[in-house]
């Protein structure tokens, strides 16, 4: 026998070198380890499964999950003996939803006054509840677009979720947004002697932008959010919003963020700010009420996402303090819808973002219905809230589709969401990272 050739167990038994009890114990331990491997395995079974890449419905649909990852997807997958089988009946399985524009640190009715009336610890506690509500509604990943005055408190929320201390979506966070002195979201209109604080962090030059971004990175930010336009004005069909940072300043911010593999998102509603942001190379233009033809071409060419936010305007219009304010919100929404149809025709990449926070957390799947109402197909809307969201968050190799080796972020809806997109508002099964949070 060659030195590194090892005799098989059968050979050893033949040679009488192995006692039978030992052999039994060996087999038993092999079986036990296979069982341990499958002990955490889960098979999800439902009437349908949506392949978001192709729009194909598998019927029935099954997913085998082991640990935090998907092992197999198909009409029928392996059912390991020790696996837990979850039969979801007349439902459709699809990837967990991704909201690329949320505010965990905002709640309805107090949007602007929160910075003044509520402490950061109080707001952080509420943010953890908001994160739970969003997850339970099927949003397994989110990009939090600014704490609006709570600084880097979102770092703690993201990390607590990652540690498993609290329930919530996977998060990309940015701390405070960045604005100019006297610009959008600065605390304008208060008694100057009271020195009311902006809910964002000031930067008034390229050098300031670099310094603020570095400081936010130190505090845990995954990306930076910049207010590029505001305040919005509408008169008839004439919509405008002044820009805040110059194109060169935005370019400096994009370059500084890129140095450490990060990206910039802008709140930008109108030209020329939207175009300046696109040419500077931001990752997304949020709200994006107005994009001219040149801007849309740049966005298409460079894969810059428009993140329309229809639900928040619908909510503001329905809950406005005065009829005049409601009319103004409705006029902006009508303008936004008209422009959105042009953006769809121009094939601008779209990611779902609801701007939830000013309206109740956990209700933002309404955004999908509005995207469809305003011209998207149900499949395109679902792709915008899964595949595109994953790309925008920089997680396209890990989430956004049901595929082998992706994280097991999976939801189920009653019926078929391609026939009735509002089904996404009735998600009643949520798995994130292989763990069932709602059933
Ligand atoms: Zn927002």
**Domain map (residue ranges) of the chain:** 38-95+401-439, 97-399
Angle value at C-alpha 106, between 413 and 140, nearest 5 degrees: 30
Instruction: Give residue 316's Cα distance to chain centre.
Output: 22
Distance 102 CA to ligand 1 centre (A): 6
Please check whether residue 292 is in contact with residue 276, taking contact to mean a CB–CB distance below 8 angstroms: no
Please check whether residue 354 is in contact with residue 301, taking contact to mean a CB–CB distance below 8 angstroms: no
Distance 292 CA to ligand 1 centre (A): 22
Number of neighbouring beta carbons within 10 Å of residue 383: 21
38-95+401-439 shares its CATH topology with 97-399: no
Q: What is the dihedral of CA 285, 289, 294, 296, to 10 degrees?
A: 60
Number of neighbouring beta carbons within 10 Å of residue 359: 22
Give 38-95+401-439's CATH code, choosing from 3.40.190.290, 1.10.10.10, 3.30.70.580, 2.30.40.10: 2.30.40.10
pLDDT score at 38: 60
Distance 43 CA to ligand 1 centre (A): 38
Q: Quick one: which of 435, 413, 381 has its CA closest to 47? A: 413
Residue with tokens 């994160």: 131
pLDDT score at 13: 39
Distance 321 CA to ligand 1 centre (A): 20
pLDDT score at 111: 67
Distance 182 CA to ligand 1 centre (A): 19
Distance 16 CA to ligand 1 centre (A): 75
Distance 380 CA to ligand 1 centre (A): 23
Query: CATH classification of 97-399 is 3.20.20.140, yes or no?
Result: yes
The string of pLDDT tens digits covering residues 164-217 is: 999 999 999 999 999 999 998 888 888 989 888 889 999 999 999 999 999 999
Annotate 415-439 with b (16+ C-beta within 10 A) or e (fewer). ebbbebbebbbebebbbbbbebbbe
Q: Quick one: which of 225, 220, 218, 145 has its CA closest to 178? A: 225
Question: Helix (H, G, I), strand (E, B), or coil: what is residue 335?
Answer: helix
Task: List the chain pLDDT tens, one digit each, 439 residues.
Answer: 343 444 444 443 344 444 444 444 444 454 445 455 566 899 999 999 999 999 999 999 999 999 999 999 999 999 999 999 999 999 999 999 999 999 999 999 876 678 889 999 999 999 999 999 999 999 999 999 999 999 999 999 999 999 999 999 999 999 999 999 999 888 888 898 988 888 999 999 999 999 999 999 999 999 999 999 999 999 988 999 999 999 999 999 999 999 999 999 999 999 999 999 999 999 999 999 999 999 999 999 999 999 999 999 999 999 999 999 999 999 999 999 999 999 999 999 999 999 999 999 999 999 999 999 999 999 999 999 999 999 999 999 999 999 999 999 999 999 999 999 999 999 999 999 999 999 9
Question: What are the beta bridge partners of residue 63?
Answer: 44, 73
Distance 256 CA to ligand 1 centre (A): 23
Distance 88 CA to ligand 1 centre (A): 35
pTM comes to: 0.91
- For residues 338 and 307, give the distance between their C-alpha atoms in angstroms, rounded to a whole number: 15
pLDDT score at 128: 98
Q: Quick one: which of 439, 380, 429 has its CA closest to 140? A: 429
């Amino acid at each position: 026998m060659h030195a590194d050739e090892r005799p098989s167990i059968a050979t050893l038994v033949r040679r009488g070198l192995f006692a039978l009890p030992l052999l039994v114990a060996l087999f038993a331990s092999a079986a036990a380890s296979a069982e341990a491997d499958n002990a955490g395995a889960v098979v999800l079974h439902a009437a349908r499964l949506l392949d978001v890449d192709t729009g194909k419905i598998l019927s029935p649909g099954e997913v085998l999950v082991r640990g935090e990852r998907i092992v197999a997807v198909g009409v029928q997958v392996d059912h390991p003996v020790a696996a837990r089988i979850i039969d979801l009946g007349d439902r459709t399985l699809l990837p967990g939803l991704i909201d690329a524009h949320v505010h965990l640190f905002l709640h309805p009715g107090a949007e602007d006054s929160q910075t003044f009336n509520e402490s950061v610890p109080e707001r952080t506690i509420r943010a953890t509840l908001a994160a739970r509500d969003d997850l339970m509604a099927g949003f397994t990943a989110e990009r939090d677009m600014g704490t609006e005055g709570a600084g880097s408190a979102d770092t703690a929320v993201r990390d607590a979720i990652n540690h498993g201390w609290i329930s919530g979506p996977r998060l990309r966070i940015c701390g405070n947004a960045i604005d100019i002195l006297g610009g959008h979201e600065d605390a304008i209109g208060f008694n100057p002697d009271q020195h009311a604080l902006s809910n964002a962090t000031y930067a008034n030059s390229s050098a300031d932008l670099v310094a603020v971004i570095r400081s936010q990175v130190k505090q845990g930010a995954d990306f930076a959010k910049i207010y590029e336009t505001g305040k919005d004005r509408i008169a008839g069909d004439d919509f405008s919003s002044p820009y805040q940072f110059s194109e060169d300043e935005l370019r400096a911010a994009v370059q500084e963020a890129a140095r450490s593999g990060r990206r910039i998102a802008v709140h930008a509603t109108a030209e020329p700010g939207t175009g300046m942001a696109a040419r500077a190379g931001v990752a997304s233009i949020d709200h994006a009420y107005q994009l001219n033809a040149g801007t849309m071409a740049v966005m298409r060419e460079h894969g810059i996402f428009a993140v329309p936010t229809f639900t928040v305007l619908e909510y503001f219009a329905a809950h406005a303090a005065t009829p005049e304010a409601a009319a103004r919100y409705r006029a902006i929404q009508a303008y936004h819808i008209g422009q959105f149809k042009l953006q769809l025709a121009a094939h601008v990449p779209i990611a779902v973002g609801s701007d939830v926070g000013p309206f109740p957390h956990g209700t933002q799947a309404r955004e999908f219905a509005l995207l469809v109402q305003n011209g998207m197909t149900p499949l395109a809307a679902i792709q915008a809230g899964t595949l595109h969201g994953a790309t925008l968050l920089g997680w396209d190799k890990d989430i956004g589709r049901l595929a082998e080796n992706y994280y097991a972020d999976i939801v189920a809806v009653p019926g078929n969401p391609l026939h009735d997109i509002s089904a996404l508002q009735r998600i009643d099964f949520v798995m994130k990272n292989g763990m069932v949070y709602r059933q």
